[in-house]
Amino acid sequence: MLKPIRLFLILATIYSISSAQNGIVKTYYPDGSVQSDISYVNDVLDGNAVWYYPDGQLKLEKNYDKGILNGWVKEYYESGLLKEEYFVKNGFKDGTHKIYNDDGTLKKISNYDNGIQTQDQIFGGDIGNKVKNIHSEVFYTVNKNTVTDSAKVKPQQQKFVRSGIKYQCNVEVCPEPIGGMKSIQDDLVYPEHALRYGLEGTVTLKAKISSDGNVLTTEIIRGMGFGCSEAAEEAVRKTKFLPGENNGVPVESEITLNVEFKIYEKKPFPESKEK
């Protein structure tokens, strides 16, 4: 007699074959957990296509329009952090392709213009930031049933996830400090008098970010005294950002940030020796 799980898989397979190529087609891991959900219309990939890790965690998501890859492609680590993301327009990569490390930090950014790679930027490591312009190799795909992602970069993480932190901004995809808020906090110089008097709190400011990730202007929304507001602005101005995006294209944008002033190791100032 067939074990329940095996019977389930056989029936699921029969169902998939009989209804395949029209509707949502599911595949399964040996233990019965869902491996993928892929949408077909009249034998052609059309709609969402989603893959999962054995534990149910999202692994990869794409969208097809009448057999052509179209829209966002996002791949994730088993931890749930974003591994890479890029936008495809009618089968061609278009806009920014971001790749992240497994800790959520940005590893690489590539820019595409209608399938043509125009720029490549690598972050971190001993090699520093390297940028090169490329004017070759057009990427496209058109198979009826399976669109080969010729533009797909081998597995390499944009938490840019980007980091996964939510920011307030005026565009579809918010700009984000490379390295997260930690990069700003690391550059923050605590004003001497604020430190002496134990002043702690948060400075809220708005920053205008260019389409290439540079800080253009800053504006204090809620400040602090003893030079803290100025110190917060200075730390933000030193920071390089992942640019904001609309429709997958980098644009000038504004972002609201909270810069924290907190004294983690408090030591009393020595008493004056004067009598």
The radius of gyration of the chain from alpha carbons, rounded to an integer in Å, stands at 24
Domain spans, the chain: 4-138, 168-261
Using one digit for the tens of pLDDT, what is the confidence trace for 163-194?
556 788 998 888 999 888 888 998 999 998 88
C-alpha dist (Å) from residue 218 to 154, 166, 172, 223: 38, 19, 21, 12
Strands in the chain per DSSP E:
23-28, 34-41, 44-52, 58-65, 68-69, 71-76, 82-89, 92-93, 95-100, 106-113, 116-122, 130-138, 168-169, 176-177, 201-209, 215-222, 241-242, 244-246, 249-251, 253-261
pLDDT at residue 133 above 70?
Answer: no
Which amino acid belongs to residue 55?
D
Domain covering 168-261 in this structure, CATH number:
3.30.2420.10
**In the CATH hierarchy, which fold is given to the domain comprising 4-138?**
2.20.110
pTM over 0.75: no
Per-residue model confidence (pLDDT) at position 103: 85
Per-residue model confidence (pLDDT) at position 248: 82
Residue 256 — pLDDT band, cuts 50, 70, 90?
Answer: very high
Using one digit for the tens of pLDDT, what is the confidence trace for 89-107?
887 888 888 888 888 887 8
Cα separation, 199 vs 191, in Å, equals 10
